[in-house]
Structures are given as structure tokens and as C-alpha cells.
Amino acid sequence: MKLSAPLAPGMVLQRNMPAAIWGVAKPGEAVTVTFAGQTKKSKAKPGPRGIGRLLVLMNEFTTMYRPHAARETTVLLPLLRGLVGPKRYEEMGEQFEQTEHRILGAGGFGRIVAAVAQIETALGIHDLAAYTPATSASPA
């Protein structure tokens, strides 16, 4: 089995959550995974390929990320601002931006976002409305 890119040095695992192992193998091929002193054996299962698999992975990521992003915006950042004060908070933001540009190069995060947008467009997954369920207006 060839392991997929999400299994790489520096990856983050969540405590008390199952860790899915992704890779490429022929359906039915024997797979053995050893991690942290535990060994599990299974057979490779057929699954979506190409864009279908990408959409599954993106949905799983969104499901994992959404609560973290919401907590960061509504709880953690206001708490940090309250702890360090507005001036230090602004200074930290400037330091973060300088580090971002040093690591990501000219254009920083915005350049990376634009590159991802081009990939999404090329794959035909750029229209979020196509993947967002319609909701009915709630009564006033």
C-alpha cells in the first residue's frame, strides 16, 4: 500500500479520535498498519477515486475544521486580546504577518488562497453553493 500525503512528518492527531489511514492499494489487498505499538490488519476497500475522493476528503476536513475555526474566532482570539491588551495584540498580528511573508514568500497567505482557488476551479469544485444545502427562511 502506498500511503497518502496526509500521513507525513508533522501531522497532527486528535486525542481520543480514530485515526483513519489513507493510501492506495488494490481492493482486497492485505494491509497491516503498526503505530504506537499497536498492529492492525485489514483488507483494502474499494472507494471513490479522483474528484469523488477529493470531495469526500474535503468534507471530512471541513467537518473537523469548522468547530475549531468557530472557537478560535468567538472564544480564543477575544480572550487573547483581553489578556495581552489591544496594543500588544496588534503587535502580535504584525509579527504573525511578517513571519507569514517570510515563510510563504511574496503575497503570503493571499497568494496561497489564490492558488487553491485556481485548483478548485480546475477541478470544478469552486462553487460552494453547489455543495451547500439550501435552507428555508425562518419565520420572523
Q: What is the pLDDT of residue 138?
A: 46
86: pLDDT confidence band, cut at 50, 70 and 90?
A: very high
Give me the helices (H) in 105-136, please: 108-123
Burial 101-117 (b: 16+ CB within 10 A, else e): eeeeeeebeeeeeeeee
Q: What would the mean pLDDT of 96-118 be, rounded to a whole number?
A: 85
pLDDT tens-digit series, residues 42-66: 887 776 665 566 666 777 777 777 7
Is the pTM higher than 0.85? The answer reads: no
% helix, strand, coil for the chain, step of 5 = 55, 10, 35
CA dist., res. 98 & res. 92, Å (int): 10
Query: What is the average pLDDT value for the chain, to the nearest integer?
Result: 75
Residue among 125, 121, 126 at smallest CA distance from 54? 125
Q: How confident is the model at residue 85 (pLDDT cuts 50, 70, 90)?
A: very high
**What is the predicted pLDDT for the residue at 117?**
85
